[in-house]
Amino acid sequence: MLRFSPGRLLPFLMLGAAACTAPRSVILSGKVTPKGQFKVGGNLGFNVGTSSTGKITGAVKSLANQAITQDSVDYQPALDKVQAAAIAYLLDPTATTTDLYVRYGVVDRLDVGYKYSFGAHSFDAMYQFMGPVGTPERPGGPAGATYGSAGLQFSTQRAKLPSLPFLDTATDLLGFTSSRVDLLVPVIFSRSFGPEEEIGNISYGLAYSHTFVKYGIEPGKIFNRVPGGGNIRERVPSVLAHRNFGALGAFVNAKVGYRYAYLLPALAIYYQNFGTYPLLNGQQTKLKGLTIIPSLGLQFRIPAGKGR
């Protein structure tokens, strides 16, 4: 038996649950990992999506004035708010994010990396087109050198909503399923602190992301009353949709430490027009907004071979 009430919805306002989402926080510098060396680390961030925050608030206000106690539910306009909130959270959740990563310098000016974001898997490569090639042990340029690089990140995940009372109920009610693929193209410039970023760097740049999303709504307990049919009801048809959208962002980050261990604060801001998304009963929702992503990470450099 399904029941909506303010008490069950309020925990969602706390926005404290972690969500697996493709990483868009840019923590890299313009200097790629030197050939034969590794970098490993982790980040803790907070993905603040203005679109999901607004839609969730609207859903709470709408549902707070009603209670659903039946095993089957007649379709009503308030359910559009529930669907819009679930889709907004899929596209741009407001939640904490955590990821672990490893990078390796394949050849001079090219490194590759893997990042695990507790549900999302990301693979990327970066090419350094500006600045010297070297290590703190064997500098290839002067202190304070400027670097530049560009790259491509591919992320994939079977997205799911976090285990919060409102979203758990929405998932059960709507039969909500989803998956997504994300591409990220960052262009990064940085200035070294010391030779070859021995004591860190300051970095900045632009990033473009493009997302391909698929979601389904299969409501097993939602019905429409047949016009003129008295108490006759029909199950609401399901929805399966594919959408894609782009986003443009700017970022700044820093790396502070010495040779082997560094602290990495970062901030990225994106704007995106998500577009129009179909809902049940031929309805639709339009989404757009800003995403603000502050993060703090820890990184370790592992020299190898002649770079020691």
Two structure tokens written together for 155? 């992320």
Average pLDDT over residues 242-246: 96
Q: Is the pLDDT of residue 207 over 50?
A: yes
Tell me, what's the pLDDT at 56? Answer: 66
Coil vs helix vs strand at 171: helix
The larger pLDDT score, comparing residue 181 to residue 7, is at 181
Tell me, what's the pLDDT at 3? Answer: 42
85-89, 170-174, 297-301: lowest mean pLDDT where?
170-174
- Gap between the Cα atoms of 85 and 81, Å rounded: 6
* Residues 6+ away with beta carbon under 8 Å from 223: 72, 73, 74, 75, 233, 234, 235, 236
Tell me, what's the pLDDT at 2? Answer: 39
Two structure tokens written together for 307? 């770079």
Q: Which of 43, 56, 133, 136 is nearest to 90 (CA)?
A: 56
Cα end-to-end span (Å), the chain: 64
The larger pLDDT score, comparing residue 21 to residue 143, is at 143
Q: Which residues pair with 265 in a beta bridge?
A: 296
Tell me, what's the pLDDT at 85? Answer: 83
Tell me, what's the pLDDT at 162? Answer: 58
As a whole number of Å, the CA-based R_g of the chain is 23
Tell me, what's the pLDDT at 103? Answer: 97
* Residues 6+ away with beta carbon under 8 Å from 69: 1, 2, 3
Average pLDDT over residues 79-101: 86
Average pLDDT over residues 250-257: 98
* Average pLDDT taken over every residue of the chain: 84
Q: What are the pLDDT digits (tens) for 131-189?
A: 999 999 999 999 999 999 999 999 998 766 655 556 666 777 788 888 899 999 999 99
Buried b (16+ CB within 10 A) or exposed e, 127-152: ebebbbbbbbeebebeeebebbbbbe
- Gap between the Cα atoms of 151 and 203, Å rounded: 15
Q: Is the pLDDT of residue 59 over 60?
A: no
Tell me, what's the pLDDT at 305? Answer: 61
Tell me, what's the pLDDT at 294? Answer: 97
Average pLDDT over residues 251-260: 96
Phi, psi of 51 (to 5 degrees): -70, -45
The larger pLDDT score, comparing residue 180 to residue 72, is at 180
Using a cut of 0.75, tell me whether the model's pTM lies above it: yes
